[in-house]
Amino acid sequence: MTQHSKRMAWFTLTILCSLYVIAYVDRGIAAVVATSLSTALDLSDTELALIISSSFAFAFVLAAVPAAQWMDNRDRRYGLAAGVALWGGATIACGFANSFEILLILRAGVAVGEAALGPAAVSLIADMFPGERRAIPTTIYALIGTLVGAGGLALGATALDIGHVLAPIVDMDAWRLTFVIAGVPAVTIALLIVLAISEPPRSQASDGEKISLMQFARYMRRRWNFYLPFYLGSGLGSMFPLALTSWAPTLLLRAFGFREADAAYVIGISGMIAAVTGTLVFSMLARRSERLAPGQGLLLVMAGAALFIAAMAWAPAAQSRDLFVLGAACAIGGWTAWILLPLFIVQRFAPNRVRARVYAIHPLCTSVIGFGLGPMTAAGFSTSWSGDHALGYGLAALGLVASPIAALCYFFCYRAAPSLLGEDDVAAAGDGSTLPAAVAPS
């Protein structure tokens, strides 16, 4: 790498990390203002879950693979900038929505824009940093994700507090201003991407080697016994922690009398502490398990994380505020495995020219199954109980069902992994053409 390319690589990584933070804030901002939003628009818990998570998740599904297809074959700067501008603009527009239907559409717009970030980041990092130097930037990017997975709620609470200060000045509801404040940074960075970032050359394959969606489908079908349980584990393992993060501020307000912003601060700050701890623990476990079972150790760690999260299912049912926060933080810490480890799993097993698309399915599954169905399922389970803690009981039931099944999925994935690790240098795409060999992370 030249000195100029080194500076550009680290500058681009800084932009990607900043976007990761903003994406989680804009994704979770509806959970921060959920109570005010529900009161202003007269929403039920089911409608609130649709706005907080489900509309986002299902739109993400529609956009994720086409976005990854663009990142694999076209200029990644323009695809990323367009996505960032869309999600920032849609977040700002949420502050002016006057009906459930309009807010639902705008939240879907946020999801379509955010679908571009993950595939772009994985692809750009892989091509801007040589193999022997890729582990550090990949870990940094993944660490940012673990921190803001729950920490985004604390940043959202800060935006809400600023909204309360500005509301009397601009004559606008604080929750509406919160959406506007949260959306502005993304729109600003979208312009910076186009003006300041350069498109790096792609590694391993020449620009003329385009892998079509049909070839990609054949590749995935031939390796279904690995990828199917991997992606099911991604979704099912995410249901409880993402539902817990989405509903925790509302549960703290209903069951323990917290102020809206204070509830988000508590979950956000405790979640960040747990995320740092989880990152250190899972990184250590991953290294040690890889020594014992090369190529399969990461999958064993994922299975263990799912069982740990299942053990924390009691937390939302706790009658003590402190026990609830402690257990929720532990569950969030366990979920850091879903942010940290799949990046390395994909870089180990997936060929370069399909790497972005292979990775895109992971957040797609965590989005549609975990984020889309998790909060809705918990709300559905909660109807079996009554009172201020009903939502907590629904969350606990979800954790006891979904997380153990996720652990079983990773066991099947572990069993199938040797067939991928034993492939030749060139892996068949399934129709007589070839794909580059998968590259293990350095």
Residue 187 has pLDDT above 90, yes or no: yes
Mean pLDDT of 345-374: 80
Residue 4 has pLDDT above 50, yes or no: no
Name the one residue in this structure whose structure tokens are 């584990």: 233
Of 285 and 159, the one with more pLDDT: 159
Residue 294 has pLDDT above 60, yes or no: yes
3-class SS of residue 442:
coil
For the domain made up of 3-197+213-420, give the CATH fold.
Growth Hormone; Chain: A; (1.20.1250)
CA distance 189 to 22: 10
CA distance 285 to 301: 7
Beta bridge partners of 438: 351
CB 220 within 8 A of CB 231: no
Q: What element of type H or E holds 392?
A: helix 390-421
CA distance 186 to 227: 33
Model confidence over 26-53: pLDDT tens digits? 998 999 999 899 899 998 888 999 999 8
CA distance 406 to 404: 5
Mean pLDDT of 123-144: 80
pLDDT on residue 296: 82
pLDDT on residue 164: 94
Residue 125 has pLDDT above 60, yes or no: yes
Report the alpha-carbon angle 339-201-76, nearest 5.
55
Residue 178 has pLDDT above 70, yes or no: yes
Under the banding of pLDDT at 50, 70 and 90, the label for residue 287 is confident
Q: Which residue type is seen at 421?
A: L
First to last CA, the chain: 16
Global confidence as pTM: 0.79
Q: What is the DSSP string of 33-102?
A: THHHHHHHHT--HHHHHIIIIIHHHHHHHHHHHHHHHHHHHS-HHHHHHHHHHHHHHHHHHHTT--SHHH
pLDDT on residue 385: 93
Structure tokens that stand for 153 in this block: 């709620």
Beta bridge partners of 351: 438
Mean pLDDT of 300-319: 94
Q: What element of type H or E holds 435?
A: strand 434-435
Residue 20 has pLDDT above 50, yes or no: yes
Phi, psi angle pair for 428, to nearest 5°: -65, 140
Report the alpha-carbon angle 357-416-352, nearest 5.
30
Instruction: Report the candidate in 192, 145, 202 with the shortest Cα–Cα distance to residue 340.
Output: 145
Model confidence over 243-270: pLDDT tens digits? 999 999 999 999 999 988 999 999 999 9
CB 390 within 8 A of CB 396: no
Residue 301 has pLDDT above 50, yes or no: yes
Lowest mean pLDDT, pick from 96-105, 118-127, 150-159, 197-206: 197-206
Lowest mean pLDDT, pick from 27-31, 47-51, 133-137, 319-323: 133-137
Residue 166 has pLDDT above 60, yes or no: yes
Average pLDDT, the chain: 85
Residue 290 has pLDDT above 80, yes or no: no
pLDDT on residue 132: 64
Under the banding of pLDDT at 50, 70 and 90, the label for residue 209 is low
Lowest mean pLDDT, pick from 198-202, 224-228, 337-341: 198-202
Looking from the CA of 395 toward its CB, the CA atoms found within 13 Å total 30
CB 190 within 8 A of CB 27: no
Mean pLDDT of 271-291: 85
Residue 321: count other Cβ atoms within 10 Å of its Cβ: 14
CA distance 175 to 95: 7
pLDDT on residue 177: 96
Contact partners, residue 143, CB within 8 Å, separation at least 6: 279, 340
The ranges assigned to domains in the chain are 3-197+213-420
Lowest mean pLDDT, pick from 79-93, 220-234, 241-255, 409-423: 409-423
